[in-house]
């Protein structure tokens, strides 16, 4: 058991790396990569810890110093694995709620297009969850529409330009709705999130609302809110843009 401890720990660590790399390279789906990452870090780490502790117990008394050293090495690796997996979630997510659909307009959230315009939306519920409204209002009180001193057509073009500077892929535009639809890809696991930006007249200017929704998972570790903030900041910083 002592000799097997570091081997099992390294196999679990390998699963963590495989999950990261396979998802990033597109060899598996983002969720498959994430599940492999979690399985290696949490389940693999727990099993490796158990084996290491048994190894330490069996090598007590100093009669097998090499075996005990192997068990200690295995234990150190095993204990580091859950921290590797959980630390990013703890640092990024903190006390954020486990929701994945954020908007700047909770009274009238921007609607995603019909699947005829954006096929990726087919067979998916793109409506805004009513129970998210109070949660978003409490967790993200800073999110609000952006008002620009520009005609809607001008503001629309600026919004598209801002989205493209952030690396979003604009997949469709609907001039009648004053909206465009985009997809954003996360950096590590390559999760795809859907975004809709809506531009409406506001007096002599325009009001821009944003909605960002994750395709996978129940929580987003604040990624959608951060994306909205980055977009509004990029839009406001454009020449002739003013909030």
Domain range summary for the chain, segments of one domain joined by + = 4-93, 101-236
* Confidence check: pLDDT of 242 > 60: no
Q: How confident is the model at residue 83 (pLDDT cuts 50, 70, 90)?
A: confident
Helix (H) or strand (E) holding 6: helix 4-24
Rounded distance between C-alpha atoms, residue 163 and residue 183, angstroms: 10
* Confidence check: pLDDT of 95 > 80: no
Q: How confident is the model at residue 240 (pLDDT cuts 50, 70, 90)?
A: low
Scored b (16 or more CB within 10 A) or e, 192-230 reads ebbbbbbbbebeebbbbbbbbbbeeeeebbbbbbebbbe
Scored b (16 or more CB within 10 A) or e, 56-95 reads beebeeeebeebbebbbbbbebbeebbeebeeeeeeebee
pLDDT tens profile 153-173: 999 999 999 999 999 999 999
Give residue 183's Cα distance to chain centre: 13
Instruction: Decide which of 3.40.50.2300, 2.60.120.10, 3.10.20.10, 3.30.530.50 is the CATH code for 101-236.
Output: 3.30.530.50
The pLDDT, as a whole number, for residue 243 is: 45
CB 163 within 8 A of CB 195: yes
* Confidence check: pLDDT of 207 > 80: yes
Give residue 113's Cα distance to chain centre: 22
Residues whose CB falls within 8 Å of the CB of residue 78, separated by 6 or more in sequence, listed in order: 5, 8, 9, 12, 45, 46, 48, 49, 51, 52
70 token code pair: 């192997």
CB 195 within 8 A of CB 183: yes
The pLDDT, as a whole number, for residue 156 is: 96
Question: What percentage of the chain carries pLDDT values higher than 90?
Answer: 64
156 token code pair: 């629309």
Does this model's pTM top 0.85? My answer is no
Rounded distance between C-alpha atoms, residue 195 and residue 200, angstroms: 17
């Amino acid at each position: 058991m002592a000799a097997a401890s570091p081997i099992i720990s390294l196999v679990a660590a390998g699963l963590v790396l495989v999950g990261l790399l396979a998802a990033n390279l597109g060899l598996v789906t983002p969720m498959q990569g994430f599940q492999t990452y979690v399985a290696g870090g949490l389940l693999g780490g727990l099993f490796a810890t158990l084996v290491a502790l048994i190894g330490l117990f069996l090598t007590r008394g100093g009669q097998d110093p090499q075996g005990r050293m192997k068990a200690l090495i295995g234990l150190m690796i095993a204990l580091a694995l859950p921290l590797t997996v959980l630390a990013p979630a703890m640092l990024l997510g903190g006390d954020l709620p486990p929701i994945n659909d954020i908007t700047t307009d909770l009274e009238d959230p921007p609607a995603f297009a019909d699947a005829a315009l954006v096929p990726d939306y087919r067979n998916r519920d793109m409506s805004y969850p009513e129970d998210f409204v109070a949660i978003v209002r409490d967790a993200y009180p800073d999110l609000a529409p952006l008002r620009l001193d520009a005609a809607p057509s001008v503001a629309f073009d600026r919004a598209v330009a801002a989205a493209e500077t952030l690396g979003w892929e604009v997949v469709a535009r609907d001039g009648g709705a004053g909206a465009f639809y985009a997809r954003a890809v996360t950096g590590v696991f390559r999760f795809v999130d859907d975004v809709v930006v809506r531009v409406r007249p506001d007096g002599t200017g325009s009001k821009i609302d944003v909605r960002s929704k994750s395709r996978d998972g129940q929580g987003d570790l604040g990624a959608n809110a951060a994306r909205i903030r980055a977009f509004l900041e990029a839009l406001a910083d454009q020449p002739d843009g003013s909030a």
